[in-house]
Structure 1
Amino acid sequence: MSAVHPEFKLRMRITQGEQVAIGPGKIALLEALDQAGSITAAAKALGMSYRRAWLLIDELNHALREPAVTTAAGGAQGGGSVLTDSGRALVALYRQIEARAQAHCADDIRTLTKMLAD
């Protein structure tokens, strides 16, 4: 029987009081929105409701000095949402911090995983 090697990922959350202002779910939503071009499509790609996705984006936009997402109202051409320059910078910085932390803590994470039962 071979041992299962767990995979660890550091998941950063930035809180404001009790609320998660920036976290892995919101960043994944921004990335999905950037690819899909709409909140509806991004929510569907992540398996969440449109309402949940909209609320997360609204929460994030209110937590930031500049909004991460701008939204165009629907109509004959349909609506859509796009990441702002600030939103793109937020995603890039979050992923950079995450990668640096993971690399910096690799030895400690290996030590920690050795403490787990097989």
Structure 2
Amino acid sequence: MSSNAKGDLQTYVRIDFPDKERLGPGKMQLLEHIRETGSISAAGRAMDMSYRRAWLLVSAMNTMFAAPVVDSQRGGAQGGGAVVTEFGEELLRRYRNMQAKVDTALESDFEWINRNRSSH
């Protein structure tokens, strides 16, 4: 999509599961931060959330699928750590691909909305 077609408008893909679980931009951003930092705690801090909240989101994602999304090890002499699993990487890739498809499909609609927005 061209850089100005959406302007400052945003779309977000959110998948609602029948059991009320959700998969959306926040969890995907958390996965990206875990990938970058190797830590659930650091990923949570990067998003201004508590370790407990980040851990609960990771736990929820790990129970949503047959394979784990994040593999973590408890702290100890070596310290803890977390890694996005191969399945988690594929989930993240597919989610980002879905978001790109939505943005591309809606490009002309965003252009129309931007042309017709109020200027105040």
> TM-score surpassing 0.5?
yes
Q: Who is 2:115 aligned against?
A: 114
Question: Whole-Å Cα distance in 2 between the matches of residues 115 and 67 of structure 1?
Answer: 45
Given that 1:13 and 1:22 are in contact with CA atoms closer than 8 Å, whether structure 2 keeps it comes out as: yes
Question: Whole-Å Cα distance in 2 between the matches of residues 51 and 104 of structure 1?
Answer: 37
TM-score, length of structure 1 as denominator length: 0.88
Q: Who is 1:64 aligned against?
A: 65
Give deviations 1:69-107, integer Å, cap 9, x for gaps: 011111100111100000000111111111121012100
Question: Whole-Å Cα distance in 2 between the matches of residues 83 and 19 of structure 1?
Answer: 23
Give the alignment's Cα RMSD to 1 decimal. Answer: 1.6
Which has the higher relative contact order, 1 or 2, with Cα contacts under 8 A spaced 6 or more apart?
A: 2
Question: Whole-Å Cα distance in 1 between the matches of residues 59 and 73 of structure 2?
Answer: 14
Q: Which runs of 4+ in 1 moved over 6 A?
A: none
Give deviations 1:51-78, integer Å, cap 9, x for gaps: 1111111111111121100111111001
Q: Report whether the alignment pairs 1:33 with 2:38.
A: no
Give unmatched runs, 5+ long, in structure 1.
Answer: none
CA offset at residue 9 of structure 1? 2.2
Q: Who is 2:11 aligned against?
A: 10
**Which amino acid in 2 is paired with 1:31?**
E
CA offset at residue 115 of structure 1? 3.5
Give unmatched runs, 5+ long, in structure 2.
Answer: 1-5
Q: Report whether the alignment pairs 1:50 with 2:51.
A: yes
Question: Whole-Å Cα distance in 1 between the matches of residues 67 and 93 of structure 2?
Answer: 16
Question: Whole-Å Cα distance in 1 between the matches of residues 28 and 43 of structure 2?
Answer: 12
CA offset at residue 26 of structure 1? 0.1
Question: Whole-Å Cα distance in 2 between the matches of residues 109 and 20 of structure 1?
Answer: 29
Structure 2 SS opposite 1:19: coil
